Amino acid sequence: MRILIVDDERPARERLRRMLALEAGIEAVEEAADGIEALQRIGEFAPDALLLDIEMPELSGIDLAASLPAPAPLVVFVTAYDEYALRAFDAEAVDYLLKPFDQARLHRALDRLRARLAAGGGSTLPSAPPRQLLVSERGGTRVVAVADIEWLETADNYVALHTANGAPLLRQTLAGLLERLGPGFVRCHRRAAVRLACIDRIVALDKGDCEIVLRSGATVPCSRQYRAGLVGRLQP
């Protein structure tokens, strides 16, 4: 089993690494000091599971779990705060380790991971819409709040996330991204989707097509085959 430890505190990472060294069947262990580094390491290291701290700067463990690319590694949350337990299991975590925990408790969590992996049960994360998306850019990773996205547009193998501050490109299909984002967005064209909360009005065009005018003044195309579904989603 390949495990990625994600924790912003070095002593916590080192302690977990020492404990994992006492367990059988651990093929490789790597570390990440925050959620953004973890996203990069996941692509390079391909872990089977994350031991994921919840309270971290910039990107919490809960938000990182919601941003994991598919197929996602399994997740065991590790935290000193028991108030996150409900949200962790809502995110379909395999287990929830409350600090400080001993070797026996870690062993039980690893047994649960092994059982899930043996059953072929990869993670179904994310189960709740993410609050932010992580976009790889040259020299780093950009955090894009979902609340800032006005509309989406396909661009070859990417989706442009149109915001007031630009349109970063996320490597994802439009259909797959809409599935992750949930009901707050609706498809309006084969190449576009719009955030419902950003719509100001719909302007009719020829042949049943229309144009969506956003509160920001931006315009988004809407083809006739998607028009009825869009209008239906706007109904109270």
Q: Are residues 8 and 88 in the same domain?
A: yes
Query: In this structure, is residue 202 part of a structural domain?
Result: yes
Percentage of residues of the chain with pLDDT beyond 70: 90
- Within a domain: residue 109? yes
- Asked whether the whole model's pTM tops 0.85, one would answer no
124 found inside a domain: no
Q: 8 pLDDT exceeds 70? A: yes
Question: Is residue 104 located within the same domain as residue 161?
Answer: no
What is the extent of the structural domain holding 207? 143-234
| Domain harbouring 213, CATH code | 2.40.50.1020
Residues 100, 153 within the same domain: no
CATH number assigned to the domain comprising residue 40: 3.40.50.2300
Taking the mean position of all CA atoms in its chain, how far away is CA 194? 19
Does residue 167 share a domain with residue 218? yes
pLDDT digits (tens, 9 = 90+) for 14-23: 999 999 999 9
pLDDT at 76: 93
Handedness of CA 204, 155, 194, 198 (dihedral sign): negative
Q: Are residues 88 and 153 in the same domain?
A: no
Whether residue 143 contacts residue 59, with contact meaning beta carbons closer than 8 Å, is answered with yes
98 shares a domain with 30: yes
152 domain-assigned: yes
Percent of the chain whose pLDDT exceeds 90: 48
In this structure, is residue 16 part of a structural domain? yes
Give the residue from 103, 118, 133 where a domain finishes: 118
Spatial neighbors of 107 by CB under 8 A, at least 6 apart, are 23
Residue 43 backbone class (left: φ over 0; alpha: ψ -120 to 50; beta: rest): alpha
CA distance 95 to 97: 7
Average pLDDT over residues 16-32: 94
Domain total in the chain = 2
Phi, psi (5° rounding) for residue 208? Answer: 85, -10
In a domain, 20, yes or no: yes
Q: Which of 67-71, 158-162, 175-179 has the lowest mean pLDDT?
A: 67-71
Over residues 45-86, the pLDDT tens digits come to 889 999 999 888 877 888 788 777 667 899 999 988 776 665
Domain end position, chosen among 83, 118, 153? 118
The pLDDT, as a whole number, for residue 91 is: 58
Q: How do strand 74-79 and strand 49-53 relate by DSSP bridges?
A: parallel
Question: Could you tell me if 97 and 11 lie in one domain?
Answer: yes
Q: Does residue 87 lie in a domain region? A: yes
Same domain, yes or no: 114 and 36: yes
Q: Is the pLDDT of residue 139 over 80?
A: no
pLDDT digits (tens, 9 = 90+) for 184-197: 999 999 999 999 99
Structural domain includes residue 127? no
pLDDT of residue 84: 60
Among 118, 133, 166, the domain boundary falls at 118
